[in-house]
Amino acid sequence: MKKTSTRLADGRELLYYDSRDDTVRDAADLRPLPPVATRPELRHDPLLGDTVAVAAHRQDRTYRPPPGACPLCPSRDGRLSEIPDADYDVVVFENRFPSLAGDSGRCEVVCFTSDHHASFADLGEERAALVLAAWTDRTAELAALPQVEQVFCFENRGAEIGVTLGHPHGQIYAYPFVAPRTELMLRSAAAHRARTGRGLFDDVVARERAEGERVVLAADHWIAFVPYAAHWPYEVHLHPRRRVPDLRALDPAARAEFPGVYLELLRRFDRLFGAGGPPTPYVSAWHQAPFRAAGREEFGLHLQLFTIRRAPGKLKFLAGSESGMNVFINDVPPEAAACRLREAASE
Protein backbone atom coordinates (compact mmCIF):
# COMPACT_ATOMS: atom_id res chain seq x y z
CA MET A 1 0.00 0.00 0.00
CA LYS A 2 1.18 3.52 -0.84
CA LYS A 3 -0.22 6.53 1.02
CA THR A 4 0.01 10.02 -0.47
CA SER A 5 -1.01 13.10 1.51
CA THR A 6 -2.10 16.38 -0.07
CA ARG A 7 -4.28 19.39 0.71
CA LEU A 8 -7.50 20.56 -0.89
CA ALA A 9 -8.00 24.19 -1.92
CA ASP A 10 -9.63 25.09 1.41
CA GLY A 11 -6.87 23.50 3.50
CA ARG A 12 -8.50 20.14 4.30
CA GLU A 13 -6.28 17.05 4.26
CA LEU A 14 -6.77 14.39 1.57
CA LEU A 15 -5.06 10.99 1.52
CA TYR A 16 -4.74 8.61 -1.43
CA TYR A 17 -4.36 4.91 -0.62
CA ASP A 18 -3.07 2.99 -3.64
CA SER A 19 -2.41 -0.70 -4.21
CA ARG A 20 0.60 0.02 -6.43
CA ASP A 21 3.74 1.45 -4.86
CA ASP A 22 4.69 3.30 -8.06
CA THR A 23 1.46 5.34 -8.27
CA VAL A 24 2.08 9.10 -8.49
CA ARG A 25 -0.51 11.54 -7.13
CA ASP A 26 0.30 15.17 -7.91
CA ALA A 27 -2.98 16.68 -9.16
CA ALA A 28 -3.84 19.99 -7.48
CA ASP A 29 -7.29 21.08 -6.34
CA LEU A 30 -8.12 24.01 -8.65
CA ARG A 31 -11.47 24.95 -7.13
CA PRO A 32 -11.86 28.48 -5.69
CA LEU A 33 -12.87 27.33 -2.21
CA PRO A 34 -12.84 29.63 0.83
CA PRO A 35 -11.12 28.32 3.99
CA VAL A 36 -13.25 26.00 6.10
CA ALA A 37 -14.74 27.82 9.09
CA THR A 38 -16.96 25.33 10.88
CA ARG A 39 -17.54 25.36 14.63
CA PRO A 40 -19.62 22.40 15.79
CA GLU A 41 -20.68 22.69 19.41
CA LEU A 42 -20.77 19.80 21.89
CA ARG A 43 -23.52 19.99 24.50
CA HIS A 44 -23.84 17.75 27.53
CA ASP A 45 -27.29 16.37 28.37
CA PRO A 46 -27.58 16.54 32.20
CA LEU A 47 -30.45 14.04 32.28
CA LEU A 48 -29.00 11.29 30.11
CA GLY A 49 -25.33 12.08 30.66
CA ASP A 50 -24.50 11.89 26.96
CA THR A 51 -23.23 14.44 24.44
CA VAL A 52 -25.00 16.01 21.46
CA ALA A 53 -23.11 17.66 18.60
CA VAL A 54 -24.84 20.79 17.33
CA ALA A 55 -23.64 21.45 13.78
CA ALA A 56 -25.93 23.98 12.09
CA HIS A 57 -23.67 24.31 9.02
CA ARG A 58 -24.61 20.76 8.00
CA GLN A 59 -28.01 22.06 6.89
CA ASP A 60 -26.21 23.30 3.77
CA ARG A 61 -24.37 20.07 2.90
CA THR A 62 -24.69 18.53 -0.55
CA TYR A 63 -27.98 16.64 -0.86
CA ARG A 64 -28.53 14.06 -3.59
CA PRO A 65 -26.79 15.95 -6.40
CA PRO A 66 -27.97 15.40 -10.01
CA PRO A 67 -26.17 12.90 -12.27
CA GLY A 68 -22.73 14.14 -13.24
CA ALA A 69 -22.37 16.38 -10.19
CA CYS A 70 -21.25 13.84 -7.56
CA PRO A 71 -18.53 15.41 -5.36
CA LEU A 72 -16.98 11.99 -4.66
CA CYS A 73 -16.30 11.06 -8.28
CA PRO A 74 -12.82 11.86 -9.67
CA SER A 75 -12.10 15.21 -11.31
CA ARG A 76 -12.26 14.58 -15.05
CA ASP A 77 -13.68 15.95 -18.30
CA GLY A 78 -13.44 19.50 -16.99
CA ARG A 79 -15.51 18.86 -13.86
CA LEU A 80 -13.76 19.43 -10.51
CA SER A 81 -14.72 17.44 -7.41
CA GLU A 82 -13.47 16.70 -3.90
CA ILE A 83 -10.88 14.33 -5.40
CA PRO A 84 -8.42 16.24 -7.66
CA ASP A 85 -7.09 13.19 -9.52
CA ALA A 86 -8.75 11.67 -12.59
CA ASP A 87 -8.96 8.24 -10.94
CA TYR A 88 -8.24 6.64 -7.56
CA ASP A 89 -8.27 3.42 -5.57
CA VAL A 90 -9.25 4.51 -2.03
CA VAL A 91 -9.37 8.11 -0.81
CA VAL A 92 -9.84 9.59 2.66
CA PHE A 93 -10.39 13.32 3.22
CA GLU A 94 -11.65 15.68 5.89
CA ASN A 95 -15.39 16.21 5.62
CA ARG A 96 -16.36 19.61 4.24
CA PHE A 97 -19.44 19.60 6.50
CA PRO A 98 -18.18 17.93 9.69
CA SER A 99 -20.17 17.09 12.79
CA LEU A 100 -16.92 17.26 14.77
CA ALA A 101 -13.92 19.51 14.14
CA GLY A 102 -10.88 20.99 15.87
CA ASP A 103 -10.86 20.41 19.62
CA SER A 104 -14.24 18.69 19.21
CA GLY A 105 -12.78 15.86 17.13
CA ARG A 106 -12.61 15.16 13.42
CA CYS A 107 -14.83 13.75 10.65
CA GLU A 108 -13.46 12.09 7.51
CA VAL A 109 -14.98 10.65 4.33
CA VAL A 110 -13.71 7.32 2.93
CA CYS A 111 -14.32 6.69 -0.78
CA PHE A 112 -14.06 2.96 -1.51
CA THR A 113 -13.81 3.20 -5.30
CA SER A 114 -13.95 5.75 -8.11
CA ASP A 115 -16.84 3.80 -9.70
CA HIS A 116 -19.97 5.79 -8.86
CA HIS A 117 -22.31 2.89 -9.66
CA ALA A 118 -20.55 0.23 -7.57
CA SER A 119 -21.13 -0.80 -3.97
CA PHE A 120 -18.78 -2.24 -1.38
CA ALA A 121 -20.13 -5.71 -2.19
CA ASP A 122 -18.94 -5.22 -5.80
CA LEU A 123 -15.33 -4.70 -4.74
CA GLY A 124 -12.77 -7.45 -5.16
CA GLU A 125 -10.84 -8.83 -2.21
CA GLU A 126 -7.74 -6.77 -3.04
CA ARG A 127 -9.70 -3.50 -2.89
CA ALA A 128 -11.54 -4.56 0.28
CA ALA A 129 -8.15 -5.30 1.86
CA LEU A 130 -6.99 -1.81 0.88
CA VAL A 131 -10.04 -0.29 2.58
CA LEU A 132 -9.24 -2.29 5.72
CA ALA A 133 -5.67 -0.96 5.57
CA ALA A 134 -7.01 2.60 5.26
CA TRP A 135 -9.37 2.12 8.24
CA THR A 136 -6.46 0.76 10.28
CA ASP A 137 -4.10 3.56 9.26
CA ARG A 138 -6.64 6.24 10.08
CA THR A 139 -7.36 4.64 13.46
CA ALA A 140 -3.64 4.76 14.25
CA GLU A 141 -3.19 8.36 13.04
CA LEU A 142 -6.27 9.70 14.80
CA ALA A 143 -5.38 7.87 18.02
CA ALA A 144 -2.29 10.09 18.20
CA LEU A 145 -4.38 13.29 18.38
CA PRO A 146 -4.63 14.43 22.03
CA GLN A 147 -8.30 15.42 21.74
CA VAL A 148 -9.44 12.04 20.32
CA GLU A 149 -10.74 9.35 22.68
CA GLN A 150 -12.35 6.92 20.22
CA VAL A 151 -12.44 6.26 16.46
CA PHE A 152 -15.58 5.02 14.73
CA CYS A 153 -15.36 3.74 11.12
CA PHE A 154 -18.74 3.14 9.48
CA GLU A 155 -20.73 3.00 6.25
CA ASN A 156 -24.32 4.09 5.71
CA ARG A 157 -25.75 2.53 2.54
CA GLY A 158 -29.06 3.46 0.96
CA ALA A 159 -31.48 6.37 0.84
CA GLU A 160 -33.65 4.70 3.49
CA ILE A 161 -30.75 5.01 5.92
CA GLY A 162 -30.46 8.72 5.14
CA VAL A 163 -27.54 8.70 2.69
CA THR A 164 -27.35 11.95 0.72
CA LEU A 165 -24.56 10.91 -1.69
CA GLY A 166 -25.01 7.74 -3.73
CA HIS A 167 -21.30 7.18 -4.40
CA PRO A 168 -19.94 4.17 -2.42
CA HIS A 169 -18.33 5.70 0.64
CA GLY A 170 -18.12 5.57 4.40
CA GLN A 171 -17.08 7.87 7.18
CA ILE A 172 -14.75 8.03 10.16
CA TYR A 173 -15.66 9.93 13.31
CA ALA A 174 -12.92 10.72 15.82
CA TYR A 175 -14.79 11.46 19.04
CA PRO A 176 -13.36 13.60 21.87
CA PHE A 177 -15.30 11.39 24.30
CA VAL A 178 -16.26 7.75 24.72
CA ALA A 179 -19.51 7.01 22.86
CA PRO A 180 -22.50 6.03 25.05
CA ARG A 181 -22.85 2.58 23.45
CA THR A 182 -19.20 1.86 24.15
CA GLU A 183 -19.54 3.02 27.76
CA LEU A 184 -22.41 0.58 28.23
CA MET A 185 -20.35 -2.29 26.81
CA LEU A 186 -17.37 -1.40 29.01
CA ARG A 187 -19.61 -1.37 32.10
CA SER A 188 -21.13 -4.71 31.14
CA ALA A 189 -17.68 -6.19 30.54
CA ALA A 190 -16.42 -4.95 33.92
CA ALA A 191 -19.45 -6.35 35.74
CA HIS A 192 -19.11 -9.69 33.94
CA ARG A 193 -15.42 -9.93 34.87
CA ALA A 194 -16.20 -9.13 38.52
CA ARG A 195 -19.00 -11.71 38.61
CA THR A 196 -17.42 -14.59 36.67
CA GLY A 197 -13.71 -13.87 36.34
CA ARG A 198 -14.05 -14.23 32.55
CA GLY A 199 -14.11 -11.89 29.58
CA LEU A 200 -17.61 -10.88 28.41
CA PHE A 201 -16.78 -10.76 24.69
CA ASP A 202 -15.07 -14.16 24.92
CA ASP A 203 -18.12 -15.67 26.60
CA VAL A 204 -20.53 -14.14 24.06
CA VAL A 205 -18.59 -15.65 21.15
CA ALA A 206 -18.23 -18.99 22.97
CA ARG A 207 -22.00 -19.16 23.56
CA GLU A 208 -22.80 -18.49 19.92
CA ARG A 209 -20.28 -21.11 18.76
CA ALA A 210 -21.68 -23.67 21.20
CA GLU A 211 -25.36 -23.09 20.38
CA GLY A 212 -24.75 -22.66 16.67
CA GLU A 213 -28.27 -21.75 15.57
CA ARG A 214 -27.47 -18.04 15.22
CA VAL A 215 -24.09 -18.50 13.50
CA VAL A 216 -24.20 -17.15 9.96
CA LEU A 217 -20.63 -17.74 8.82
CA ALA A 218 -17.60 -19.32 10.51
CA ALA A 219 -14.10 -19.03 9.09
CA ASP A 220 -10.64 -19.80 10.47
CA HIS A 221 -10.11 -16.34 11.98
CA TRP A 222 -13.59 -14.74 12.03
CA ILE A 223 -17.09 -15.70 13.16
CA ALA A 224 -20.34 -13.94 12.24
CA PHE A 225 -23.60 -14.43 14.10
CA VAL A 226 -26.97 -12.82 14.76
CA PRO A 227 -26.83 -11.73 18.43
CA TYR A 228 -29.17 -13.44 20.89
CA ALA A 229 -30.95 -10.14 21.62
CA ALA A 230 -30.65 -8.55 18.17
CA HIS A 231 -32.17 -5.07 18.03
CA TRP A 232 -32.64 -4.98 14.24
CA PRO A 233 -34.60 -7.32 11.90
CA TYR A 234 -31.39 -8.57 10.28
CA GLU A 235 -28.28 -7.84 12.33
CA VAL A 236 -24.91 -9.60 12.25
CA HIS A 237 -21.93 -9.18 14.56
CA LEU A 238 -18.56 -10.15 13.05
CA HIS A 239 -15.82 -10.93 15.59
CA PRO A 240 -12.20 -12.01 15.14
CA ARG A 241 -11.74 -15.35 16.89
CA ARG A 242 -8.73 -13.90 18.72
CA ARG A 243 -10.09 -10.98 20.72
CA VAL A 244 -8.34 -7.65 20.13
CA PRO A 245 -9.28 -4.10 21.22
CA ASP A 246 -9.12 -2.37 17.83
CA LEU A 247 -8.17 -2.64 14.16
CA ARG A 248 -4.51 -1.96 14.85
CA ALA A 249 -4.19 -5.21 16.81
CA LEU A 250 -5.48 -7.61 14.14
CA ASP A 251 -2.85 -10.18 13.16
CA PRO A 252 -1.83 -10.81 9.51
CA ALA A 253 -3.96 -13.96 9.21
CA ALA A 254 -7.13 -12.16 10.33
CA ARG A 255 -6.39 -9.27 7.98
CA ALA A 256 -5.89 -11.62 5.05
CA GLU A 257 -9.14 -13.50 5.69
CA PHE A 258 -11.34 -10.46 6.42
CA PRO A 259 -12.05 -9.29 2.82
CA GLY A 260 -13.55 -12.61 1.71
CA VAL A 261 -15.66 -12.97 4.84
CA TYR A 262 -16.95 -9.40 4.81
CA LEU A 263 -17.76 -9.35 1.10
CA GLU A 264 -19.71 -12.59 1.51
CA LEU A 265 -21.77 -11.07 4.33
CA LEU A 266 -22.57 -7.97 2.28
CA ARG A 267 -23.62 -10.08 -0.71
CA ARG A 268 -25.88 -12.15 1.50
CA PHE A 269 -27.54 -8.97 2.73
CA ASP A 270 -28.18 -7.96 -0.88
CA ARG A 271 -29.85 -11.34 -1.54
CA LEU A 272 -32.06 -11.25 1.56
CA PHE A 273 -35.16 -9.83 -0.10
CA GLY A 274 -34.97 -11.45 -3.53
CA ALA A 275 -33.13 -10.85 -6.78
CA GLY A 276 -33.99 -7.83 -8.85
CA GLY A 277 -35.22 -5.72 -5.95
CA PRO A 278 -33.70 -2.50 -4.64
CA PRO A 279 -30.32 -2.79 -2.86
CA THR A 280 -30.58 -3.60 0.83
CA PRO A 281 -30.03 -0.49 2.97
CA TYR A 282 -27.61 -1.09 5.80
CA VAL A 283 -25.31 0.35 8.41
CA SER A 284 -21.88 -1.23 8.84
CA ALA A 285 -20.10 -0.12 12.01
CA TRP A 286 -16.72 -0.97 13.53
CA HIS A 287 -16.82 -0.99 17.33
CA GLN A 288 -13.33 -0.29 18.65
CA ALA A 289 -12.06 0.20 22.19
CA PRO A 290 -11.51 3.79 23.31
CA PHE A 291 -7.84 4.67 23.62
CA ARG A 292 -7.53 5.73 27.24
CA ALA A 293 -10.68 4.56 29.05
CA ALA A 294 -10.55 2.17 31.98
CA GLY A 295 -11.34 -1.38 30.91
CA ARG A 296 -9.97 -0.98 27.38
CA GLU A 297 -8.24 -4.38 27.67
CA GLU A 298 -11.63 -6.06 28.21
CA PHE A 299 -13.15 -4.72 24.98
CA GLY A 300 -13.54 -6.86 21.87
CA LEU A 301 -13.29 -5.36 18.39
CA HIS A 302 -16.29 -6.31 16.27
CA LEU A 303 -18.22 -5.15 13.24
CA GLN A 304 -21.98 -4.65 13.47
CA LEU A 305 -23.90 -4.97 10.19
CA PHE A 306 -27.65 -4.40 10.14
CA THR A 307 -30.50 -3.36 7.89
CA ILE A 308 -33.65 -1.41 8.74
CA ARG A 309 -35.61 -3.44 6.15
CA ARG A 310 -37.71 -6.13 7.85
CA ALA A 311 -39.43 -7.53 4.73
CA PRO A 312 -39.68 -6.62 1.02
CA GLY A 313 -41.05 -3.08 0.88
CA LYS A 314 -41.24 -2.76 4.67
CA LEU A 315 -38.90 -0.83 6.95
CA LYS A 316 -38.31 -1.06 10.68
CA PHE A 317 -39.10 2.41 12.02
CA LEU A 318 -37.83 3.60 15.38
CA ALA A 319 -41.15 4.75 16.77
CA GLY A 320 -42.41 5.37 20.32
CA SER A 321 -40.76 2.58 22.32
CA GLU A 322 -37.44 2.70 20.48
CA SER A 323 -37.10 6.46 20.06
CA GLY A 324 -38.83 7.50 23.26
CA MET A 325 -37.56 4.86 25.70
CA ASN A 326 -34.70 3.11 23.84
CA VAL A 327 -36.52 -0.22 24.21
CA PHE A 328 -36.27 -2.09 20.91
CA ILE A 329 -38.95 -4.43 19.61
CA ASN A 330 -37.68 -6.82 16.95
CA ASP A 331 -40.16 -8.28 14.44
CA VAL A 332 -37.79 -11.02 13.22
CA PRO A 333 -36.58 -13.71 15.66
CA PRO A 334 -32.76 -13.80 15.62
CA GLU A 335 -32.74 -17.54 14.90
CA ALA A 336 -34.97 -17.01 11.83
CA ALA A 337 -32.76 -14.14 10.65
CA ALA A 338 -29.65 -16.32 10.96
CA CYS A 339 -31.33 -19.13 9.02
CA ARG A 340 -32.29 -16.74 6.24
CA LEU A 341 -28.75 -15.35 6.04
CA ARG A 342 -27.30 -18.87 5.83
CA GLU A 343 -29.70 -19.66 2.98
CA ALA A 344 -28.49 -16.55 1.14
CA ALA A 345 -24.93 -17.90 0.93
CA SER A 346 -23.05 -17.62 -2.35
CA GLU A 347 -23.07 -20.77 -4.45
pLDDT given for residue 61 in this prediction: 87
pLDDT given for residue 249 in this prediction: 98
* Residue range(s) in the chain whose domain bears CATH number 3.30.428.10: 2-175, 180-343
Mean pLDDT computed over 123-149: 98
Pairing of strands 90-94, 222-225: unpaired
Please name the CATH architecture into which domain 2-175 falls.
2-Layer Sandwich (3.30)
pLDDT given for residue 206 in this prediction: 98
Mean pLDDT computed over 112-134: 97
pLDDT given for residue 62 in this prediction: 86
CA distances from 269 to 37, 117, 126, 263, 281 (A): 39, 18, 21, 10, 9
For the chain, state the CA radius of gyration: 20
pLDDT in tens, 186-206: 999 999 999 999 999 999 999
Confidence of residue 269 (pLDDT cuts 50, 70, 90): very high
Please tell me which residue, 67 or 146, carries the higher pLDDT value. Answer: 146
pLDDT given for residue 347 in this prediction: 63
Q: Find the helix or strand (DSSP H, E) in which 203 lies.
A: helix 200-211
Mean pLDDT computed over 242-258: 98
Confidence of residue 72 (pLDDT cuts 50, 70, 90): very high
Q: With pLDDT > 90 as the criterion, what percentage of the chain qualifies?
A: 94
Evaluate if pTM is beyond 0.85.
yes
pLDDT given for residue 330 in this prediction: 97
User: Beta-carbon neighbour count of residue 248 at 10 Å?
Assistant: 15
pLDDT given for residue 275 in this prediction: 75
pLDDT given for residue 63 in this prediction: 85
Confidence of residue 155 (pLDDT cuts 50, 70, 90): very high
Query: Which stretches of 90-219 are DSSP H helices?
Result: 125-143, 180-196, 200-211
pLDDT in tens, 26-46: 999 999 999 888 889 999 999
Chain mean pLDDT for the chain? 96
The strand pairing partners of 111, in sequence order, are: 91, 169
* 180-343 CATH: 3.30.428.10
Among the ranges given (63-67, 75-79, 164-168, 281-285), the one the predictor scored with the smallest mean pLDDT? 63-67
Q: DSSP strand E in 137-274: where? A: 150-157, 169-175, 215-218, 222-225, 234-240
Residues marked as catalytic: 169
Confidence of residue 141 (pLDDT cuts 50, 70, 90): very high
